[in-house]
Structure 1
């Protein structure tokens, strides 16, 4: 009898212990993943008033949280690291509009791109560290809990998710480098280390595709002041930490927003990239993360792409040329354009520009021949639904013969919800730099897209959402559009010409952090539930056609905010030095230019 009672008691204790562990894990995870948001605008949108209208700023902040940050925080990650932070309305968190000049002389404002970026780095770095250099819009910032103080300055001990779009994605990338060199530390003994994560949209420093990562490291274009900063770091979740999970999203063929060609002499690809910027870049702030396609993971970063249904270079002819003819031309032209890209290299591997028009001329020639009957069948199918030549529809967004996108990760594919973001990996990692045109070298499965592919199923079908509007290239899909499919064979992914460069630091002035002045810029150094805020129709463009930001969804922010629930070592490319930064006195002086109309058709000159 005593033995039976002892057994029953042991069983009860085990059950209670299991319940306690489950409750503790759930509570810790909820607290760990909840973060305040530091949100920055693109060029011409400093998020200060003036020039931005308060309604524009309010809508921009809500879109960043509801349609990008929270959906990405709820999506499984392919890195094996924690997800980015979520702005949870059930946890006391703040949303801050971080102010910086957002200038691009001579297009907008009196400051050059580099000067604007330096001021942005000073401001954002100060906000992350809770320093006095933080410049944010007090009136636009808010707390997701309506009962809390809506205007509490960013604190040093808070967890943050940083949202950067176009020019501000460069700012966020440089702050990420600064946090690697001078990590955030606990504000008091026994306190946890505050966490930082990033969401980068149209990032000009995307390692493979960003125009500022393509060019010679450290080179500055005079007069207009644009420096090739190199690639956004992806090595924060290595042996030393701190781990800073990142999501990087780009639109296909946006030349200034993360998908620039890797060839200087492929004129067709260059023109298409300019057209891609013109037609796609400003509309990205109207997109939805749920429409982006998973492109692979590298280091601490998950990469996503908005595939382009029709080449931007063909878009101007949509109103005068019948759609089937444009469809026929798309297949062969896409092959010629894709010949200038490094699609078989991970988006997280720094890839420099090359001189040859085609990376692999023989492969391009073969694919061009194959694309002609495919284009004919595509055009006839658009008219009659038949494919008389018997070709198969192209499943890759990169055209005939192009690699297919990998299957999106799931929670069972190695994605994990770590209890501590700053936990270090046990294995070493190396970063790599690829020079366009070189033959690919063997790559570590861990550091390339290959480690995302299933050994049993190297080819996987995933659904692709077509883009908005027939004959147009838009990053977001619309209801009622037909969905295509994509095929992925990740085992074919190789990396090219690997090299390493050391990391140095060349400081600019900043406040916050133990060695803040030397670390601002470094050199040779499950599907989420839809948010409560509805998508509203875009306003008509008030000027054009050249633009730097399209209007965003307009609408008042709900008082409670969003209700969404939704491998490498040292950095491979060096960072050029920046002259001494200076802080901006107030929001209005940081943003030269005329006052913006609410939701006006303004554009973003990202690079």
Structure 2
């Protein structure tokens, strides 16, 4: 059996270009018609008249040939355009068939699997008659958010969801010994604990005046601080009202489905003092927005960590800019995918995933002079397929953003989808590389997966979204042993 791979958008663009050539041929033919077919004799003698007649005959024959050529060109253009449509329709049919196959398989497995439908969307809202303050915290290495950071957090993430709040940059240690020696010698756990105390005091002061309200912005380490504070508030007898307090978390290591501190829940790393302390409570009564960039290793860590390529991509995503949020383009934030929540979800948290076009892995080769970017564009589509095998899909009857999901040892790849997208990605990579080199116009840039990112490419068969896995039992047992040995400091309690 043989296979034919095409790029429909390339064929369609070529048809348009050829149509322009046909128009030019017609115009040139018309312009040349008079001068080449209506030659006058140079004199009144018989020789001059014979020469004029001869060249006129040649001109008429040329006009006939060019007319036929232009007609053939038009017919070829129409055939090419029709082929583009046919290829596009065939590709859509193929994708539909793959989706139908996976859907039918999931329907057969549905009685055995949880999470069969989609949950409702609960937009956050805060009403207040008093002072409205947005407490903005930095991330690791950023104890004092500067004006640019504060403006980015306010404009991109707070204002669209919680309008009317005034910014207040909150100092927190944001240390992670030994990676932040310039800030001090606090370990991650100790730094988080001091940050929780600072945030708790700020909220207590804010709510000491009746009618005041607050929004908390946490990023990276300070999202962990906010998570612990949410847990403390939920345990209080008289906590602040949900109508007075909200949270916005970006790059959240406690993201229920993707946060690295939830993927390996229970595990404790001594010396670095990192406790994998689980998920931000999805049942929190407080209006909350969790925004994560795709492939950010803190908030979007692979569900299947035996995929070492996906792990490496996520780790690079922490340092290559994917983990940076306050400087994101506004349209990327505005167009983030609103992830589905589980059927009957009654929590107050909305989850968003910002799709990442440039795979973090390719940041290793893009800086190479001259050839770096074309090479990155060449390999990126197939690399994306291999990386995405480390993740499950979001969608109704698939994975949900609110369910705390630990890492699993094994996935079940769909060989039909994987082979199809690897073949398609190879063709897209060549096309994208030629565009980058300037050998093809920008209109030839590929569209669709795997050149473009997706939250549900269908590379793995869905086998449920377990809250307990063999790997989570292992990490939990290791954490219990660490606690029994007295390795876990009291500030993690």
The normalised TM-score by structure 2 is: 0.59
Give the corresponding residue for 1:7: none
Give the corresponding residue for 2:256: 207
Q: Structure 2 vs 1, CA of residues 29 and 42 (structure 1 numbering), >3 Å: closer, same or farther? A: closer
Equivalent residues in 2 for 1:48-197 (5 A)?
57-71=146-160, 73=161, 85-88=162-165, 94-108=166-180, 109-130=184-205, 155=208, 157=210, 158-182=212-236, 184-185=238-239, 195-197=244-246
Give the corresponding residue for 2:301: 260
Give the deviation of 1:60 after TM superposition.
Answer: 2.8
Matched, 1:198 2:253: no
Give the corresponding residue for 2:400: 346
Matched, 1:250 2:299: no
Give the corresponding residue for 1:302: 350
CA contact (8 A) 1:394 1:400 kept: no
Give the deviation of 1:57 after TM superposition.
Answer: 2.9
Q: Structure 2 vs 1, CA of residues 70 and 396 (structure 1 numbering), >3 Å: closer, same or farther? A: farther
Within the candidate set 413, 423, 429, 1:360 is matched to 413
CA contact (8 A) 2:429 2:451 kept: no
Q: Any idea what SS the aligned residue of 1:280 has?
A: coil
Q: Any idea what SS the aligned residue of 2:153 has?
A: helix
Q: Structure 2 vs 1, CA of residues 193 and 351 (structure 1 numbering), >3 Å: closer, same or farther? A: closer
CA contact (8 A) 2:200 2:229 kept: yes
Give the deviation of 1:68 after TM superposition.
Answer: 2.0
CA contact (8 A) 2:250 2:292 kept: yes
Give the deviation of 1:280 after TM superposition.
Answer: 1.5
Q: Any idea what SS the aligned residue of 1:375 has?
A: helix
Equivalent residues in 2 for 1:114-513 (5 A)?
114-130=189-205, 155=208, 157=210, 158-182=212-236, 184-185=238-239, 195-215=244-264, 217-236=265-284, 243-256=285-298, 258-281=299-322, 283-288=324-329, 290-292=331-333, 293-298=336-341, 299-320=347-368, 321-344=371-394, 345-356=399-410, 358-360=411-413, 362=415, 363-380=417-434, 382=436, 383-385=439-441, 393-394=448-449, 397-398=452-453, 402=457, 439-441=462-464, 496-497=465-466
Whole-angstrom CA distance in 2 between matches of 1:205 and 1:397:
27
Structure 1 unaligned blocks of 5 or more: 1-27, 48-55, 74-84, 89-93, 131-152, 187-191, 237-242, 405-436, 442-495, 501-522, 525-576, 583-607
Q: In the TM superposition, what whole-angstrom CA distance separates every residue of 1:134-186 from its partner, at most 9, and x where no partner exists?
A: xxxxxxxxxxxxxxxxxxx6636421100001100011011112122216447
Q: Structure 2 vs 1, CA of residues 33 and 318 (structure 1 numbering), >3 Å: closer, same or farther? A: farther
Structure scoring higher RCO (CA < 8 A, sep ≥ 6) equals: 1
Give the deviation of 1:377 after TM superposition.
Answer: 3.6
- Between Structure 1 and Structure 2, the one with more helix by share is 2
Q: Any idea what SS the aligned residue of 2:377 has?
A: helix
Give the deviation of 1:303 after TM superposition.
Answer: 2.0
CA contact (8 A) 1:439 1:497 kept: no
Q: Structure 2 vs 1, CA of residues 334 and 69 (structure 1 numbering), >3 Å: closer, same or farther? A: same
Q: In the TM superposition, what whole-angstrom CA distance separates every residue of 1:556-592 from its partner, at most 9, and x where no partner exists?
A: xxxxxxxxxxxxxxxxxxxxx974449xxxxxxxxxx
Whole-angstrom CA distance in 1 between matches of 2:242 and 2:356:
41
Q: Structure 2 vs 1, CA of residues 222 and 262 (structure 1 numbering), >3 Å: closer, same or farther? A: same
Q: In the TM superposition, what whole-angstrom CA distance separates every residue of 1:103-137 from its partner, at most 9, and x where no partner exists?
A: 1011113111111111111221222223xxxxxxx
Q: In the TM superposition, what whole-angstrom CA distance separates every residue of 1:373-393 from its partner, at most 9, and x where no partner exists?
A: 3333443455414999x9863
Whole-angstrom CA distance in 2 between matches of 1:184 and 1:38:
21
